Structure 1
Amino acid sequence: MKKLRRRYEIFKLEFPEIVWLDRDCCGEGAVKAAWRILNPHIKILLDVFHWIDRLSKGLHSKSHPYAPLFVKEIQKALFVLSREDLDKLLTAVMKAENLIGRDEAWKRVTAKDLRRYVRRLIPQPAELERRLQVVYDVFKTKSYNGVLLFTDRTEAIWEEQLKHVRNGCLSDPHGVSLYWEVKKELWRGKGDEKYALSVWQTARSTSQLESLHSFLKRALYSSTLSDEVFQQVLLDSLTKWTGDRIRQNGGLFPEAADLAQLVAADNLHYEITGQRLDLSLEYLRRKESTC
């Protein structure tokens, strides 16, 4: 972590303000101490979907007919839609479809529209607990063919997970924007430009990196790699994955690192395989197109 902090200092980057983990968000353990080396004031939060997964372990089974509905309602209780963004979306739909009322506009709004154009906020602890408790109380007595959704251990798991809610491990921190604007566009490509909507991308939670897990599993195909080879494969894989994500969002990503890094990679490749790399830009472009 000290080396990571040094990299931020070298490139004059702002230190991270928030990190989402799947465990060890509370207390003063080694994990929190390590992150505070990077930034003494960093906020440690718990990933929402890992929290939901913990809660689901208290259900009779995930195949219980009421289980999907319970999870869906818990998710709805966790997030509050931005009123400002929602108003803009409904107005854009009304103008694009020449509708009179918001109710008619609502019928044309899809879940994809909400994810794309409307930011979601996680309320502060007291409000969040109230919203979640309403859902919990509704499903407490739900059963199907005499089989209750909740089991004998559900209450204990619920109380344990409420500790994270009360500690603020799920709530959005004050004064920190968790979204950035990717671009502006018209709803369905219709309407006047003055009703163009912001397309939002969120930095919240670890879910943004879930696709990296399977990518690395494919890249790191052996558990017997030497330290040097492991680091080279890991760096190459992370660079490619990052480049793909940047290009998907319309950004530019350099085709290669600086010359010193290329020479070092070439030397290491020669030591391992006895062959030199083709470091020409033409080769790198061909390599990129076939990956």
Structure 2
Amino acid sequence: MVVCLRSHLRSFDPATAQFTESPTSTTNILPQKLAATSSTEPQIPNHDTDQDTGGVISVGDLLDSDLSPPFESPNGIPLPIDEASVKLGEKVLGPEPVVDDESEFDDTLRSRVLKDPFHVFNMFYISATHSLRAHFTRELRDAIFVPDQEDKQRINAWGETQNPPQKYETLRNSSPRWIREHCRHIIPAPKKLRSLVSRVFRTYGPLVDPQSKKPLFTHENWKTAKHVLELIQNGYLSDPPGIPLYTMVGIDKKAAGLPVYRCARGTNSTEGGVHKHIRARLPKCGASIRHVVACLSDFVLHHNQRVSSSCLDL
């Protein structure tokens, strides 16, 4: 049995057929239209030439860069505001709720499952050339992370002995990693945190870049801001009360004995210490389930032994 398209069939009558070529020659039975189409390569439209989205950068990536401002604050500099962006922000975010008590800390445990602040910052992708990208990153960071006053005073006291003198406010912009290692930070309670973060969104979102003439926030940024405020309001970002998140792991002899901390907030240590290394310990292909389980058990054993021995050294 032969199965083919009806358009590929031709009737043949031996009594009336006249061969002009040798019967052994190959006859092309494809229709002319189909043959012509098959010999032509498909034309793929190029959308890149019509669209230019411009470069964007994650706010999380900006956190580790030098955020030292060319001037202390943009408040004294008149910046244009995009009225359409203001209305869009009000429409997406809605009216700001009136809160009677905006205490910075409370003893209410709203959730045992928390959002990693690192991922919150990476939810925002803003223009990589907007002149206010560093200002927005600094203000959002300072609204979420409140420094421990005791650690801040120690850093300021050490900074006064430096040449030139340094302060916490300067070091948190020029050396963010160093500050995170030497200063504990607290994420306030939901009511206080929502008020601070919402103020940053509504202030910086509609500000226009003098070069591109575009506001800092796009429509997607406003939607992301709404999701972040919902996370904050539900208590998924604030520190859980009564649970210490910092462990002192040593002292910095180069910084007059300032304490060095390790933070348990977020999942970065888990992802970097476990997930990243599991892939190297698993077989690449042709492995049975029993083989994979054996490799995982071996990895867990060695990992636990290594971590327990490092804790004993502390």
Task: Provide the TM-score with structure 1 as the length reference.
Answer: 0.57
CA distance in 1, matches of 2:225, 2:177: 30
> Please, which runs of 5 or more residues in structure 1 have no aligned partner?
1-40, 191-195, 254-291
Give 1:135-214 correspondences, 5 Å limit: 135-144=200-209, 145-186=212-253, 188=254, 190=256, 196-211=257-272, 212-214=274-276
Instruction: Determine helix, strand or coil for the equivalent of 1:46.
Output: coil
Instruction: Determine helix, strand or coil for the equivalent of 1:170.
Output: coil
Instruction: Determine helix, strand or coil for the equivalent of 2:291.
Output: helix
Counterpart position of 1:126: 191
Alignment root-mean-square deviation, CA: 3.3
The answer to whether 1:76 aligns with 2:76 is no
- C-alpha deviations, 1:3-50, integer Å up to 9, x for none? xxxxxxxxxxxxxxxxxxxxxxxxxxxxxxxxxxxxxx9811111122
Counterpart position of 1:53: 122
The 1:175–1:142 alpha-carbon spacing in structure 2 relative to 1, beyond 3 Å, is same
Partners of 1:62 and 1:68 within 8 A in 2: no
Instruction: Determine helix, strand or coil for the equivalent of 2:284.
Output: coil
Partners of 1:77 and 1:132 within 8 A in 2: yes
* Partner AA of 1:47 in structure 2: D
Q: Report the CA distance between 1:200 and its aligned residue.
A: 1.1
Query: Which one of 162, 167, 172 corresponds to residue 106 of structure 1?
Result: 167
Q: Report the CA distance between 1:215 and its aligned residue.
A: 1.8
Bigger helix share:
1
Instruction: Determine helix, strand or coil for the equivalent of 1:147.
Output: coil
- C-alpha deviations, 1:151-204, integer Å up to 9, x for none? 223333322221110111100011111111112343x154xxxxx332211111
Q: Report the CA distance between 1:80 and its aligned residue.
A: 0.6
Partners of 2:186 and 2:239 within 8 A in 1: yes
Query: Which one of 223, 231, 237 corresponds to residue 299 of structure 2?
Result: 237
CA distance in 2, matches of 1:226, 1:202: 38
The 1:125–1:90 alpha-carbon spacing in structure 2 relative to 1, beyond 3 Å, is same
Give 1:83-94 correspondences, 5 Å limit: 83-94=149-160
Query: Which one of 255, 258, 277 corresponds to residue 215 of structure 1?
Result: 277
Q: Report the CA distance between 1:239 and its aligned residue.
A: 4.1
* Partner AA of 1:141 in structure 2: P
Partners of 2:198 and 2:229 within 8 A in 1: no
Moved over 6 A (4+): none
Q: Report the CA distance between 1:235 and its aligned residue.
A: 2.7
CA distance in 2, matches of 1:111, 1:50: 17
CA distance in 2, matches of 1:62, 1:223: 41
Instruction: Determine helix, strand or coil for the equivalent of 2:260.
Output: strand
CA distance in 1, matches of 2:283, 2:208: 45
The answer to whether 1:117 aligns with 2:182 is yes
Task: Provide the TM-score with structure 2 as the length reference.
Answer: 0.53
CA distance in 2, matches of 1:72, 1:91: 23
The 1:70–1:244 alpha-carbon spacing in structure 2 relative to 1, beyond 3 Å, is farther
Q: Report the CA distance between 1:219 and its aligned residue.
A: 2.4
Q: Which fold has the larger relative contact order, with Cα–Cα distance below 8 Å and residues 6 or more apart in sequence?
A: 2
Identity of aligned residues (%): 23
Q: Report the CA distance between 1:137 and its aligned residue.
A: 2.0
The 1:66–1:246 alpha-carbon spacing in structure 2 relative to 1, beyond 3 Å, is farther
Instruction: Determine helix, strand or coil for the equivalent of 1:150.
Output: coil
> Please, which runs of 5 or more residues in structure 2 have no aligned partner?
1-109
